[in-house]
Structure 1
Amino acid sequence: MNSWKILLITLGFISLVSCGTNTPAPSATTQNVFFLLADDPATQDFQLNFTRVNVDIKELDYVASDSSITKVALTDSVYNLKSLMNGNSVLLSQITLSKSVTIKQIHVVFGGDNYGTLKNGTIVPLTISGGIQSGVTINVDETAPSTLSSYSVIIDFNVGKSIFSTGNNTYTLNPTLRSYIADVTSYIKGNITPAKLLTKVFVVTGSDTLWTVADTTNKNYFRISGLIPGTYTVQFMPTDTTVVTNTASATVQSGSNVSLDTIRITQ
Protein backbone atom coordinates (compact mmCIF):
# COMPACT_ATOMS: atom_id res chain seq x y z
CA MET A 1 0.00 0.00 0.00
CA ASN A 2 1.46 3.32 -1.01
CA SER A 3 1.17 5.52 2.06
CA TRP A 4 1.93 8.71 0.12
CA LYS A 5 -1.00 8.08 -2.22
CA ILE A 6 -3.21 7.55 0.80
CA LEU A 7 -2.72 11.21 1.48
CA LEU A 8 -4.61 12.00 -1.70
CA ILE A 9 -7.87 11.59 0.09
CA THR A 10 -9.52 14.43 0.89
CA LEU A 11 -12.70 14.84 1.90
CA GLY A 12 -13.69 17.87 -0.10
CA PHE A 13 -12.94 21.46 -0.49
CA ILE A 14 -14.85 24.56 -1.50
CA SER A 15 -18.07 24.30 0.49
CA LEU A 16 -16.99 26.78 3.18
CA VAL A 17 -15.41 29.24 0.74
CA SER A 18 -17.08 31.92 -1.31
CA CYS A 19 -15.76 34.77 -3.35
CA GLY A 20 -16.91 37.72 -1.32
CA THR A 21 -16.47 41.43 -1.64
CA ASN A 22 -12.88 41.20 -0.37
CA THR A 23 -11.78 38.99 -3.26
CA PRO A 24 -10.00 41.09 -5.88
CA ALA A 25 -11.20 40.71 -9.44
CA PRO A 26 -8.64 38.79 -11.52
CA SER A 27 -7.22 40.48 -14.59
CA ALA A 28 -6.17 39.06 -17.93
CA THR A 29 -2.76 38.31 -16.43
CA THR A 30 -3.61 37.27 -12.86
CA GLN A 31 -5.50 34.54 -10.98
CA ASN A 32 -7.03 34.41 -7.51
CA VAL A 33 -5.57 31.54 -5.49
CA PHE A 34 -7.37 30.09 -2.46
CA PHE A 35 -5.47 28.01 0.11
CA LEU A 36 -7.89 25.59 1.76
CA LEU A 37 -7.46 23.15 4.64
CA ALA A 38 -9.26 19.79 4.50
CA ASP A 39 -9.00 16.64 6.59
CA ASP A 40 -8.62 12.94 5.95
CA PRO A 41 -10.56 11.26 8.75
CA ALA A 42 -9.17 9.12 11.54
CA THR A 43 -9.25 5.38 10.96
CA GLN A 44 -7.92 3.83 14.19
CA ASP A 45 -10.16 3.22 17.19
CA PHE A 46 -8.38 5.65 19.52
CA GLN A 47 -8.53 8.36 16.84
CA LEU A 48 -12.27 7.82 16.31
CA ASN A 49 -12.68 8.60 20.03
CA PHE A 50 -11.89 12.28 19.35
CA THR A 51 -14.82 14.66 18.88
CA ARG A 52 -12.48 17.59 18.10
CA VAL A 53 -8.95 17.77 16.77
CA ASN A 54 -7.66 21.34 16.87
CA VAL A 55 -4.42 22.23 15.11
CA ASP A 56 -2.55 25.50 15.43
CA ILE A 57 -1.16 26.81 12.14
CA LYS A 58 1.00 29.86 12.71
CA GLU A 59 2.64 30.29 9.31
CA LEU A 60 1.96 29.39 5.68
CA ASP A 61 4.48 30.00 2.88
CA TYR A 62 4.55 29.01 -0.76
CA VAL A 63 7.45 28.45 -3.13
CA ALA A 64 6.72 29.62 -6.66
CA SER A 65 8.10 28.47 -9.99
CA ASP A 66 10.48 31.44 -9.97
CA SER A 67 11.94 30.05 -6.69
CA SER A 68 10.57 32.95 -4.65
CA ILE A 69 9.26 32.19 -1.14
CA THR A 70 6.23 34.16 0.04
CA LYS A 71 4.50 34.19 3.42
CA VAL A 72 0.71 34.60 3.25
CA ALA A 73 -1.70 36.06 5.81
CA LEU A 74 -3.86 33.49 7.62
CA THR A 75 -7.59 33.87 8.31
CA ASP A 76 -7.21 32.30 11.75
CA SER A 77 -4.72 30.23 13.74
CA VAL A 78 -6.54 27.24 15.28
CA TYR A 79 -8.68 24.96 13.09
CA ASN A 80 -10.90 22.00 14.06
CA LEU A 81 -10.05 19.20 11.65
CA LYS A 82 -13.13 17.17 12.60
CA SER A 83 -15.30 19.77 10.85
CA LEU A 84 -13.32 19.45 7.60
CA MET A 85 -14.39 16.02 6.35
CA ASN A 86 -16.44 14.72 3.41
CA GLY A 87 -16.83 17.86 1.35
CA ASN A 88 -15.94 20.51 3.93
CA SER A 89 -12.91 22.77 4.09
CA VAL A 90 -11.84 26.09 5.54
CA LEU A 91 -10.15 29.04 3.89
CA LEU A 92 -6.63 29.62 5.20
CA SER A 93 -5.68 32.46 2.87
CA GLN A 94 -6.19 33.94 -0.58
CA ILE A 95 -3.80 35.74 -2.87
CA THR A 96 -3.62 37.11 -6.38
CA LEU A 97 -0.87 35.60 -8.49
CA SER A 98 0.44 36.25 -11.98
CA LYS A 99 -0.61 33.57 -14.47
CA SER A 100 3.04 33.19 -15.40
CA VAL A 101 3.85 31.96 -11.87
CA THR A 102 2.86 28.55 -10.52
CA ILE A 103 2.98 27.23 -6.97
CA LYS A 104 5.44 24.35 -6.58
CA GLN A 105 5.64 23.83 -2.80
CA ILE A 106 3.88 24.82 0.42
CA HIS A 107 5.51 25.15 3.84
CA VAL A 108 3.30 24.87 6.93
CA VAL A 109 4.56 25.84 10.41
CA PHE A 110 2.57 24.67 13.44
CA GLY A 111 2.23 26.45 16.77
CA GLY A 112 1.84 24.89 20.20
CA ASP A 113 -1.95 25.16 20.70
CA ASN A 114 -2.84 21.70 19.40
CA TYR A 115 -5.31 19.58 21.33
CA GLY A 116 -8.03 16.97 21.04
CA THR A 117 -11.35 16.51 22.82
CA LEU A 118 -12.36 12.97 23.72
CA LYS A 119 -15.94 11.68 23.71
CA ASN A 120 -16.04 11.90 27.50
CA GLY A 121 -15.19 15.61 27.31
CA THR A 122 -11.55 15.26 28.36
CA ILE A 123 -9.24 17.71 26.58
CA VAL A 124 -5.80 16.30 25.85
CA PRO A 125 -2.78 18.11 24.38
CA LEU A 126 -1.36 16.95 21.05
CA THR A 127 2.38 17.39 21.39
CA ILE A 128 4.21 18.28 18.19
CA SER A 129 7.01 15.84 17.38
CA GLY A 130 10.46 17.36 17.77
CA GLY A 131 11.39 17.02 14.12
CA ILE A 132 8.34 19.04 13.02
CA GLN A 133 9.13 22.22 14.95
CA SER A 134 10.46 23.94 11.83
CA GLY A 135 7.40 23.00 9.76
CA VAL A 136 6.34 20.63 6.99
CA THR A 137 7.07 21.19 3.29
CA ILE A 138 4.82 19.55 0.69
CA ASN A 139 4.90 19.51 -3.09
CA VAL A 140 2.14 20.72 -5.40
CA ASP A 141 2.37 18.45 -8.44
CA GLU A 142 -0.47 19.88 -10.54
CA THR A 143 -0.51 23.13 -12.49
CA ALA A 144 -3.63 25.26 -12.82
CA PRO A 145 -4.54 26.18 -16.41
CA SER A 146 -4.04 29.84 -17.22
CA THR A 147 -7.63 29.91 -18.53
CA LEU A 148 -8.94 29.78 -14.95
CA SER A 149 -9.71 33.07 -13.24
CA SER A 150 -9.16 31.38 -9.85
CA TYR A 151 -8.17 28.03 -8.41
CA SER A 152 -7.95 26.26 -5.05
CA VAL A 153 -4.87 24.68 -3.51
CA ILE A 154 -5.90 22.01 -1.01
CA ILE A 155 -3.75 21.34 2.03
CA ASP A 156 -4.86 17.86 2.97
CA PHE A 157 -4.26 16.95 6.62
CA ASN A 158 -4.25 13.19 7.22
CA VAL A 159 -5.37 12.70 10.84
CA GLY A 160 -5.15 8.93 10.49
CA LYS A 161 -1.42 9.24 9.80
CA SER A 162 -0.72 12.13 12.17
CA ILE A 163 -1.93 11.35 15.71
CA PHE A 164 -0.18 8.70 17.80
CA SER A 165 -1.08 7.38 21.23
CA THR A 166 1.80 7.17 23.69
CA GLY A 167 -0.32 5.68 26.49
CA ASN A 168 -2.14 7.07 29.54
CA ASN A 169 -4.23 9.49 27.45
CA THR A 170 -1.15 11.16 26.00
CA TYR A 171 -0.77 11.80 22.28
CA THR A 172 1.75 13.16 19.83
CA LEU A 173 1.07 15.04 16.61
CA ASN A 174 3.29 14.33 13.62
CA PRO A 175 1.46 16.21 10.83
CA THR A 176 1.23 14.27 7.58
CA LEU A 177 0.09 16.47 4.72
CA ARG A 178 -0.38 16.50 0.98
CA SER A 179 -1.34 19.33 -1.35
CA TYR A 180 -3.03 19.36 -4.74
CA ILE A 181 -5.04 21.66 -6.96
CA ALA A 182 -8.75 20.88 -6.65
CA ASP A 183 -9.70 22.29 -10.05
CA VAL A 184 -7.70 19.71 -12.02
CA THR A 185 -8.61 16.60 -10.00
CA SER A 186 -11.86 14.66 -9.48
CA TYR A 187 -13.86 13.02 -6.71
CA ILE A 188 -16.08 10.00 -6.03
CA LYS A 189 -19.11 10.54 -3.81
CA GLY A 190 -22.20 8.72 -2.61
CA ASN A 191 -24.39 7.69 0.33
CA ILE A 192 -24.63 4.55 2.43
CA THR A 193 -27.69 2.96 4.00
CA PRO A 194 -28.39 2.37 6.88
CA ALA A 195 -27.79 6.07 7.36
CA LYS A 196 -26.43 5.68 10.91
CA LEU A 197 -24.03 2.80 10.18
CA LEU A 198 -20.54 4.24 10.64
CA THR A 199 -18.57 2.95 7.66
CA LYS A 200 -15.06 3.20 6.30
CA VAL A 201 -14.81 3.72 2.54
CA PHE A 202 -11.70 2.62 0.65
CA VAL A 203 -10.78 3.52 -2.92
CA VAL A 204 -8.26 1.15 -4.48
CA THR A 205 -6.34 1.39 -7.73
CA GLY A 206 -3.38 -0.92 -8.25
CA SER A 207 -1.29 -0.90 -5.06
CA ASP A 208 -2.64 2.47 -3.91
CA THR A 209 -5.44 2.87 -1.36
CA LEU A 210 -7.34 5.98 -0.32
CA TRP A 211 -9.96 6.12 2.40
CA THR A 212 -12.55 8.13 4.28
CA VAL A 213 -15.27 7.58 6.89
CA ALA A 214 -18.86 8.30 5.84
CA ASP A 215 -20.73 11.10 7.62
CA THR A 216 -23.63 9.63 9.61
CA THR A 217 -24.96 13.13 10.35
CA ASN A 218 -25.50 13.71 6.62
CA LYS A 219 -27.24 10.59 5.28
CA ASN A 220 -23.98 8.63 5.55
CA TYR A 221 -22.43 10.75 2.83
CA PHE A 222 -18.89 10.13 1.64
CA ARG A 223 -16.64 11.96 -0.78
CA ILE A 224 -13.08 11.14 -1.76
CA SER A 225 -11.31 13.92 -3.64
CA GLY A 226 -8.00 14.54 -5.35
CA LEU A 227 -8.39 11.68 -7.82
CA ILE A 228 -6.61 11.44 -11.16
CA PRO A 229 -8.17 9.62 -14.16
CA GLY A 230 -8.36 5.86 -13.76
CA THR A 231 -10.49 2.90 -12.71
CA TYR A 232 -11.09 2.53 -8.98
CA THR A 233 -12.52 -0.22 -6.79
CA VAL A 234 -14.57 1.23 -3.93
CA GLN A 235 -14.86 -0.93 -0.81
CA PHE A 236 -17.12 -0.48 2.20
CA MET A 237 -16.34 -1.71 5.72
CA PRO A 238 -18.52 -0.91 8.77
CA THR A 239 -16.31 0.23 11.65
CA ASP A 240 -17.59 -2.58 13.89
CA THR A 241 -16.00 -5.20 11.64
CA THR A 242 -12.80 -5.87 9.69
CA VAL A 243 -14.67 -7.34 6.72
CA VAL A 244 -15.41 -5.56 3.43
CA THR A 245 -19.17 -6.00 3.00
CA ASN A 246 -19.79 -4.21 -0.32
CA THR A 247 -17.75 -3.34 -3.41
CA ALA A 248 -18.38 -0.97 -6.33
CA SER A 249 -16.41 0.08 -9.39
CA ALA A 250 -15.89 3.66 -10.59
CA THR A 251 -14.12 5.07 -13.64
CA VAL A 252 -12.83 8.61 -13.24
CA GLN A 253 -12.29 10.61 -16.41
CA SER A 254 -10.39 13.87 -16.65
CA GLY A 255 -12.57 16.83 -15.71
CA SER A 256 -15.47 14.73 -14.40
CA ASN A 257 -16.67 13.46 -11.02
CA VAL A 258 -18.43 10.20 -10.14
CA SER A 259 -21.64 9.86 -8.12
CA LEU A 260 -22.32 6.27 -7.04
CA ASP A 261 -25.76 4.79 -6.48
CA THR A 262 -26.73 4.41 -2.81
CA ILE A 263 -24.69 1.63 -1.21
CA ARG A 264 -26.96 -0.72 0.76
CA ILE A 265 -25.20 -2.66 3.51
CA THR A 266 -26.99 -5.65 5.01
CA GLN A 267 -26.44 -6.01 8.74
Structure 2
Amino acid sequence: MLLKRITLFPIALLIGLSMMFVGCGTDSDSGSGTMTVEMADAPIDSADAVNVFIERVEVNRVGSSYGWVTLNEPQQEYDLLELTNGATTVIGSAELEAGTYPQIRLILSSDGHSVEIDGSIYDMKVPSGPQTGVKLNINAEIEEDIEYVLLLDFDASRSVVEAGQNNQNPYILKPVITATEKAITGNIEGTANPADAQPVVSAIAGSDTLASTIADTSDGYFKLIGLEEGTYDVLVHPRNDTYGEQTVTGVDVTVESTTDIGTVDVPQN
Protein backbone atom coordinates (compact mmCIF):
# COMPACT_ATOMS: atom_id res chain seq x y z
CA MET A 1 0.00 0.00 0.00
CA LEU A 2 2.84 2.44 0.79
CA LEU A 3 4.36 1.96 -2.67
CA LYS A 4 1.03 2.75 -4.34
CA ARG A 5 0.64 5.96 -2.29
CA ILE A 6 4.09 7.20 -3.36
CA THR A 7 3.45 6.56 -7.03
CA LEU A 8 0.35 8.73 -6.85
CA PHE A 9 2.41 11.90 -5.98
CA PRO A 10 2.36 14.48 -8.80
CA ILE A 11 5.53 14.51 -10.88
CA ALA A 12 6.01 18.25 -10.28
CA LEU A 13 5.96 17.68 -6.52
CA LEU A 14 8.57 14.92 -6.78
CA ILE A 15 10.85 17.20 -8.83
CA GLY A 16 10.44 19.98 -6.25
CA LEU A 17 11.32 17.64 -3.39
CA SER A 18 14.39 16.40 -5.26
CA MET A 19 15.64 19.96 -5.78
CA MET A 20 15.09 20.75 -2.11
CA PHE A 21 17.14 17.75 -0.96
CA VAL A 22 19.97 18.62 -3.34
CA GLY A 23 20.04 22.17 -1.95
CA CYS A 24 20.24 20.88 1.63
CA GLY A 25 23.14 18.57 0.81
CA THR A 26 25.73 21.18 -0.08
CA ASP A 27 27.50 20.75 3.29
CA SER A 28 28.96 17.42 2.14
CA ASP A 29 29.86 17.89 -1.53
CA SER A 30 33.29 19.54 -1.38
CA GLY A 31 35.57 16.70 -0.26
CA SER A 32 37.50 16.60 2.99
CA GLY A 33 40.91 17.27 4.48
CA THR A 34 42.45 16.94 7.93
CA MET A 35 43.06 19.51 10.64
CA THR A 36 45.61 18.69 13.34
CA VAL A 37 46.05 20.99 16.34
CA GLU A 38 49.35 20.99 18.23
CA MET A 39 49.98 22.88 21.46
CA ALA A 40 53.26 24.39 22.70
CA ASP A 41 54.10 26.76 25.54
CA ALA A 42 55.77 30.08 26.14
CA PRO A 43 57.06 29.36 29.65
CA ILE A 44 56.88 31.11 32.98
CA ASP A 45 60.15 31.10 34.92
CA SER A 46 58.53 31.64 38.33
CA ALA A 47 56.59 28.36 38.33
CA ASP A 48 57.49 24.67 38.42
CA ALA A 49 54.29 23.50 36.69
CA VAL A 50 51.24 25.03 35.04
CA ASN A 51 48.46 22.47 34.58
CA VAL A 52 45.43 23.15 32.40
CA PHE A 53 42.50 20.81 31.83
CA ILE A 54 41.07 20.78 28.29
CA GLU A 55 37.65 19.23 27.76
CA ARG A 56 37.07 19.80 24.03
CA VAL A 57 38.63 21.31 20.92
CA GLU A 58 36.12 22.71 18.40
CA VAL A 59 36.11 24.58 15.08
CA ASN A 60 33.42 26.20 12.93
CA ARG A 61 33.10 26.47 9.13
CA VAL A 62 31.90 29.28 6.89
CA GLY A 63 28.53 28.41 5.35
CA SER A 64 27.92 25.38 7.55
CA SER A 65 24.62 24.82 9.32
CA TYR A 66 26.21 22.47 11.86
CA GLY A 67 27.68 25.11 14.19
CA TRP A 68 30.78 24.08 16.12
CA VAL A 69 32.42 20.78 15.12
CA THR A 70 34.36 18.79 17.71
CA LEU A 71 37.92 17.90 16.70
CA ASN A 72 38.66 16.06 19.91
CA GLU A 73 37.52 15.62 23.49
CA PRO A 74 40.79 15.16 25.38
CA GLN A 75 39.28 15.42 28.89
CA GLN A 76 42.90 15.67 29.96
CA GLU A 77 45.31 17.73 32.04
CA TYR A 78 48.41 19.16 30.35
CA ASP A 79 51.47 20.59 32.07
CA LEU A 80 52.37 23.53 29.85
CA LEU A 81 55.93 23.67 31.15
CA GLU A 82 56.64 20.29 29.55
CA LEU A 83 55.93 21.84 26.12
CA THR A 84 59.12 23.87 25.66
CA ASN A 85 62.20 23.73 23.40
CA GLY A 86 60.22 22.57 20.38
CA ALA A 87 58.13 20.00 22.24
CA THR A 88 54.45 19.94 21.26
CA THR A 89 51.47 17.74 21.95
CA VAL A 90 48.53 16.98 19.65
CA ILE A 91 45.29 18.04 21.31
CA GLY A 92 43.01 17.36 18.34
CA SER A 93 42.96 15.87 14.85
CA ALA A 94 39.99 15.08 12.63
CA GLU A 95 38.82 14.87 9.04
CA LEU A 96 36.83 17.96 8.10
CA GLU A 97 34.84 19.07 5.10
CA ALA A 98 36.92 21.26 2.81
CA GLY A 99 36.32 24.97 3.28
CA THR A 100 37.22 27.97 5.44
CA TYR A 101 37.23 27.58 9.21
CA PRO A 102 37.36 31.05 10.79
CA GLN A 103 37.65 30.09 14.46
CA ILE A 104 38.83 27.45 16.88
CA ARG A 105 37.89 27.28 20.54
CA LEU A 106 39.15 25.38 23.54
CA ILE A 107 36.57 24.36 26.11
CA LEU A 108 38.32 24.33 29.47
CA SER A 109 36.90 22.85 32.63
CA SER A 110 35.69 25.20 35.37
CA ASP A 111 38.30 23.72 37.70
CA GLY A 112 41.12 21.19 37.50
CA HIS A 113 43.76 23.84 36.66
CA SER A 114 46.71 24.51 38.96
CA VAL A 115 50.08 26.21 39.24
CA GLU A 116 53.02 24.96 41.31
CA ILE A 117 55.28 27.64 42.79
CA ASP A 118 58.13 26.92 45.23
CA GLY A 119 56.70 23.48 45.98
CA SER A 120 53.18 24.72 46.75
CA ILE A 121 50.25 23.89 44.45
CA TYR A 122 47.49 26.45 43.94
CA ASP A 123 44.18 25.71 42.24
CA MET A 124 43.12 28.09 39.45
CA LYS A 125 39.74 28.83 37.91
CA VAL A 126 38.99 30.23 34.44
CA PRO A 127 36.57 33.18 34.33
CA SER A 128 33.74 32.22 31.90
CA GLY A 129 35.89 29.46 30.38
CA PRO A 130 33.40 26.57 30.60
CA GLN A 131 30.55 28.59 29.03
CA THR A 132 32.03 30.08 25.86
CA GLY A 133 35.50 28.58 25.64
CA VAL A 134 38.68 30.33 24.53
CA LYS A 135 38.07 31.48 20.94
CA LEU A 136 40.83 32.20 18.43
CA ASN A 137 40.56 33.55 14.89
CA ILE A 138 42.45 31.26 12.50
CA ASN A 139 40.81 31.50 9.03
CA ALA A 140 42.10 28.02 8.22
CA GLU A 141 41.68 26.78 4.66
CA ILE A 142 41.03 23.04 4.65
CA GLU A 143 41.75 21.51 1.23
CA GLU A 144 40.75 18.11 -0.04
CA ASP A 145 43.20 15.34 0.96
CA ILE A 146 45.59 17.84 2.63
CA GLU A 147 46.58 18.00 6.32
CA TYR A 148 46.44 21.46 7.87
CA VAL A 149 48.53 21.71 11.05
CA LEU A 150 47.67 24.50 13.48
CA LEU A 151 50.13 25.42 16.24
CA LEU A 152 48.72 26.93 19.43
CA ASP A 153 51.23 28.71 21.65
CA PHE A 154 49.78 28.79 25.19
CA ASP A 155 51.64 31.63 26.93
CA ALA A 156 51.91 30.49 30.54
CA SER A 157 53.74 33.63 31.64
CA ARG A 158 50.80 35.84 30.65
CA SER A 159 48.03 33.35 31.42
CA VAL A 160 48.73 32.83 35.12
CA VAL A 161 47.48 35.99 36.83
CA GLU A 162 47.57 36.96 40.49
CA ALA A 163 44.04 37.26 41.86
CA GLY A 164 42.69 40.10 43.95
CA GLN A 165 42.83 40.03 47.73
CA ASN A 166 39.20 38.98 47.98
CA ASN A 167 39.72 35.92 45.79
CA GLN A 168 39.78 32.53 47.48
CA ASN A 169 42.70 31.38 45.32
CA PRO A 170 45.83 33.53 44.86
CA TYR A 171 46.03 32.81 41.11
CA ILE A 172 43.53 32.59 38.24
CA LEU A 173 43.96 31.31 34.69
CA LYS A 174 43.25 33.84 31.92
CA PRO A 175 44.45 31.99 28.80
CA VAL A 176 46.61 33.95 26.35
CA ILE A 177 47.05 31.84 23.21
CA THR A 178 48.32 32.59 19.72
CA ALA A 179 47.61 30.44 16.67
CA THR A 180 49.70 30.02 13.52
CA GLU A 181 49.64 27.68 10.56
CA LYS A 182 52.69 25.48 11.11
CA ALA A 183 53.47 25.17 7.38
CA ILE A 184 54.21 28.89 7.07
CA THR A 185 56.58 29.11 10.04
CA GLY A 186 60.22 28.37 10.80
CA ASN A 187 62.37 27.85 13.88
CA ILE A 188 65.52 29.05 15.65
CA GLU A 189 67.79 26.75 17.65
CA GLY A 190 71.09 27.06 19.47
CA THR A 191 72.91 26.41 22.72
CA ALA A 192 73.29 28.75 25.68
CA ASN A 193 76.67 28.50 27.38
CA PRO A 194 77.00 27.75 30.21
CA ALA A 195 73.85 25.75 30.88
CA ASP A 196 74.17 26.81 34.54
CA ALA A 197 72.91 30.24 33.47
CA GLN A 198 69.45 28.63 33.14
CA PRO A 199 68.26 31.22 30.63
CA VAL A 200 64.90 32.11 29.19
CA VAL A 201 65.44 32.51 25.43
CA SER A 202 63.14 34.79 23.41
CA ALA A 203 62.69 35.73 19.76
CA ILE A 204 61.96 39.45 19.45
CA ALA A 205 60.79 41.48 16.46
CA GLY A 206 60.75 45.21 17.14
CA SER A 207 59.31 45.54 20.63
CA ASP A 208 57.28 42.30 20.48
CA THR A 209 58.34 38.99 22.03
CA LEU A 210 56.93 36.43 19.60
CA ALA A 211 58.26 33.18 21.08
CA SER A 212 60.16 32.12 24.16
CA THR A 213 61.43 28.97 25.82
CA ILE A 214 63.69 27.85 28.68
CA ALA A 215 67.03 26.39 27.64
CA ASP A 216 67.68 22.83 28.71
CA THR A 217 69.33 22.96 32.13
CA SER A 218 71.65 20.03 31.33
CA ASP A 219 73.21 21.14 28.03
CA GLY A 220 71.81 24.63 27.30
CA TYR A 221 70.01 23.60 24.10
CA PHE A 222 67.02 25.71 23.06
CA LYS A 223 64.57 25.77 20.19
CA LEU A 224 62.05 28.49 19.35
CA ILE A 225 59.26 27.28 17.07
CA GLY A 226 56.28 28.69 15.17
CA LEU A 227 57.98 31.87 13.93
CA GLU A 228 56.75 33.56 10.79
CA GLU A 229 59.32 34.33 8.11
CA GLY A 230 61.36 37.42 9.02
CA THR A 231 64.31 38.73 11.00
CA TYR A 232 64.53 38.44 14.78
CA ASP A 233 66.75 39.29 17.72
CA VAL A 234 67.34 36.38 20.09
CA LEU A 235 67.57 37.44 23.74
CA VAL A 236 69.20 35.06 26.21
CA HIS A 237 68.16 36.13 29.72
CA PRO A 238 69.72 34.05 32.54
CA ARG A 239 67.64 33.18 35.57
CA ASN A 240 70.89 32.64 37.45
CA ASP A 241 71.83 36.11 38.71
CA THR A 242 75.56 35.44 38.41
CA TYR A 243 75.23 35.78 34.62
CA GLY A 244 74.20 38.65 32.37
CA GLU A 245 72.08 38.91 29.24
CA GLN A 246 73.26 38.27 25.71
CA THR A 247 71.51 39.20 22.46
CA VAL A 248 72.06 37.79 18.97
CA THR A 249 70.75 40.26 16.40
CA GLY A 250 69.59 39.85 12.82
CA VAL A 251 68.60 36.18 12.88
CA ASP A 252 66.74 35.29 9.67
CA VAL A 253 63.92 32.76 9.73
CA THR A 254 62.56 31.12 6.59
CA VAL A 255 59.51 28.92 6.14
CA GLU A 256 59.81 25.23 7.02
CA SER A 257 63.44 25.48 8.11
CA THR A 258 65.41 25.82 11.35
CA THR A 259 68.09 28.49 11.71
CA ASP A 260 70.95 27.30 13.93
CA ILE A 261 72.67 30.23 15.66
CA GLY A 262 75.25 27.98 17.32
CA THR A 263 76.57 28.59 20.84
CA VAL A 264 75.60 31.79 22.62
CA ASP A 265 78.03 32.61 25.42
CA VAL A 266 76.48 34.56 28.28
CA PRO A 267 78.75 36.84 30.31
CA GLN A 268 79.40 36.34 33.99
CA ASN A 269 78.57 39.29 36.24
Asked if Structure 1 and Structure 2 have the same fold, meaning a TM-score greater than 0.5 normalized by the shorter chain, the answer is yes
Q: Cα–Cα, structure 1 residues 199 and 143, in superposed 2: closer, same or farther, change >3 Å?
A: farther
- Match in the other structure for 2:190: 190
Instruction: Determine the C-alpha separation between the residues in 2 that align with 1:182 and 1:137.
Output: 19
Whether the 8 Å contact between 2:43 and 2:214 is mirrored in structure 1 is no
Normalising by structure 1, what TM-score?
Answer: 0.76
Instruction: Determine the C-alpha separation between the residues in 1 that align with 2:141 and 2:146.
Output: 14
**Structure with larger Rg:** 2
Instruction: Determine the C-alpha separation between the residues in 1 that align with 2:73 and 2:132.
Output: 18
Instruction: Determine the C-alpha separation between the residues in 1 that align with 2:182 and 2:145.
Output: 12
Normalising by structure 2, what TM-score?
Answer: 0.75
The Cα shift of 1:160 comes to 0.9
| Runs of 4+ residues deviating >6 angstroms | none
- Match in the other structure for 1:265: 266
Q: Give the one of 43, 47, 60 matched to 1:63.
A: 60
- Match in the other structure for 1:8: none
- Match in the other structure for 1:226: 226
Whether the 8 Å contact between 2:185 and 2:254 is mirrored in structure 1 is no
Q: Cα–Cα, structure 1 residues 219 and 76, in superposed 2: closer, same or farther, change >3 Å?
A: farther
- Match in the other structure for 2:162: 165
The Cα shift of 1:219 comes to 1.9
Instruction: Determine the C-alpha separation between the residues in 1 that align with 2:214 and 2:135.
Output: 29
- Match in the other structure for 2:126: 128
Aligned length: 232
Q: Secondary structure, in 3 states, of the residue corresponding to 2:190?
A: strand
- Match in the other structure for 2:247: 246
Greater CA drift, 205-214 or 157-166: 205-214
Letter of the 2:173 counterpart: L
- Match in the other structure for 1:33: 35
1:92 maps onto 2:91 in alignment: yes
- Match in the other structure for 2:5: none
1:215 maps onto 2:215 in alignment: yes
Instruction: Determine the C-alpha separation between the residues in 1 that align with 2:255 and 2:71.
Output: 31
Measured on the aligned residues, the alpha-carbon RMSD in Å equals 2.7
Instruction: Determine the C-alpha separation between the residues in 1 that align with 2:39 and 2:228.
Output: 20
Q: Cα–Cα, structure 1 residues 218 and 140, in superposed 2: closer, same or farther, change >3 Å?
A: farther
Higher relative CO (Cα under 8 Å, sequence separation at least 6) belongs to: 1
Deviation string, structure 1 residues 42-85 (Cα, Å, up to 9, x no partner) = 1xxxxx34222111111221022435521222234211111111
Q: Cα–Cα, structure 1 residues 224 and 115, in superposed 2: closer, same or farther, change >3 Å?
A: same
In structure 2, list runs of 5 or more residues that go unmatched: 1-30
Instruction: Determine the C-alpha separation between the residues in 2 that align with 1:150 and 1:131.
Output: 29
Deviation string, structure 1 residues 222-244 (Cα, Å, up to 9, x no partner) = 22222222111212221245963
Letter of the 2:133 counterpart: G
Instruction: Determine the C-alpha separation between the residues in 1 that align with 2:129 and 2:91.
Output: 24
The Cα shift of 1:158 comes to 0.7
Instruction: Determine the C-alpha separation between the residues in 2 that align with 1:235 and 1:94.
Output: 34
